[in-house]
A and B are shown apart, each in its own frame.
Chain A
Amino acid sequence: MSENESTTDGTGSEREAATDGGRKAADGSGIVAPDDETPTWRERKERTQGLSQLTYEYFERARREDQDLRTESDYVERDVLAFPVWPHEMIRNLALTSFFVGMIIFLAAALPPHIGAPANPSQTPAVILPDWYLYWSFGLLKLGPLNPDLALLGGQKLMADRTYGVVANLVVVGFIAIVPFLNKGAARRPVEQPFWAAVGVFGVIFAATISALSVKNLIPMDSHLLFDLTFLLPFVGGFLTYAVLKSMREGYMFELNRRYYRLRPPK
């Protein structure tokens, strides 16, 4: 439908800027069918069974409600093209919320967690570990072999190994903190930005390997090999991700995917 409009009333540059179907009038002619002859999505892609039918009915209904909203007299055109919160998003959110609340109630009723004996404050536990989600930070405290001794200081280390571990925590947290400023998150699929997808895979694998390093005495593996793998595997995963995504770019329809998500250009 946007093809017809764009070829009649728009030049190439205008067509590039118009992401919502071609016009900016709030008369319902944006993303909806401009006239009765234009085929609806239902007519274009008739799906007659199961999930595909449900999907198309959902989008057809959403398109219809969007059209009704746009033709209302008090309709205000917004910057973001999206589904209304009510009922579209809210029904879905209620369904998801109900599912998870029901699952929590079921598990709490059927499998109540075991409550152990109270902790003995006068006895040190055999194994001292943080909670599992802090293993990565615990592992960063064990980077002593990476702490360089400087010839300038006569073989002395600039800082103690434990200080070095704390500084490593600051470096990692600092990098995570500046990632949103380095990459604004314009990509909607990993193939659109293979490098940043590779950085993400690097981080995920490094979080796993540094966690394994933190409990190296529990891992059935040579600790030196584990230490090397801790820093090698993230690079391997990152390079693999970059190569795979780079090869997937051929044939990826950037414009098609961008069309559904891009904001309208500011007026």
Chain B
Amino acid sequence: MADEFAKGFGILVTAGLGWLTLAGWYNTPGFEDTQLIAPDPAAANFYDTVAILLKDGLFWFAILGALTFWIVIPAIRQAREAYEGRAEN
């Protein structure tokens, strides 16, 4: 269980750091303005397009990855154990 927690936590903080960096580049108009969650700017070139796509990908990877290891996988394991236990009885 501790391993699954560490995996989910690692995904959360690592992907979250990547999202934080890219959102700081593209979605932060100013230090005393909206930070990190401003609407996406119009992509000027190919690199911007890739970076904004990567930013969204990292954001959802951070959330869904952590949820996967903290909730989905343990739930599947418990369900499987319960199912096997019922099969024995």
A residues touching B (Cβ–Cβ < 8 Å)? Answer: 49-52, 106, 110-111, 113-114, 116
Contacts and interface: CB of A to CB of B under 8 A. Distances in A.
Interface in B58-79: none
B32 A116 contact: yes
Interface in B1-40: 2-3, 6, 17, 20-21, 24-25, 30-32
A51 B31 contact: no
A151 B24 CA distance: 59
A49 B3 contact: yes
A106 B3 CA distance: 27
Given A116-B31, A116-B32, A111 B3 contact: no
A110 B24 contact: yes
A110 B24 CA distance: 9
Contact of A114 (B20, B21, B30): B30
Contact of B2 (A50, A111, A113, A114): A50
A111 B21 contact: yes
Contacts of A52: 2
Interface of B: 2-3, 6, 17, 20-21, 24-25, 30-32
Contacts of A110: 21, 24
B21 A113 contact: no
Given A113-B31, A114-B31, A51 B24 contact: no
B52 to A, nearest CB: 16
A111 B24 contact: yes
A49 B25 CA distance: 40
A132 to B, nearest CB: 14
6 contacts: A49-B3, A50-B3, A51-B6, A111-B21, A113-B31, A114-B32
A219 B35 CA distance: 20
Contacts of A50: 2-3
A51 B32 contact: no
Contacts of B17: 106
A106 B24 CA distance: 13
A51 B25 CA distance: 36
Contacts of B21: 110-111
Given A50-B3, A106-B17, 5 more contacts: A51-B3, A113-B31, A114-B31, A114-B32, A116-B31
A50 B7 CA distance: 11
Nearest to B24: A111
Contacts of B25: 111
A110 B26 CA distance: 12
B27 to A, nearest CB: 12
Nearest to A115: B31
A72 B66 CA distance: 48
A116 B32 CA distance: 9
A111 to B, nearest CB: 5
Contacts of A106: 17
**Nearest 3 A/B pairs, CB to CB:** A114-B31, A50-B3, A51-B2
Nearest to A50: B3
A16 B39 CA distance: 66
A49 B4 CA distance: 12
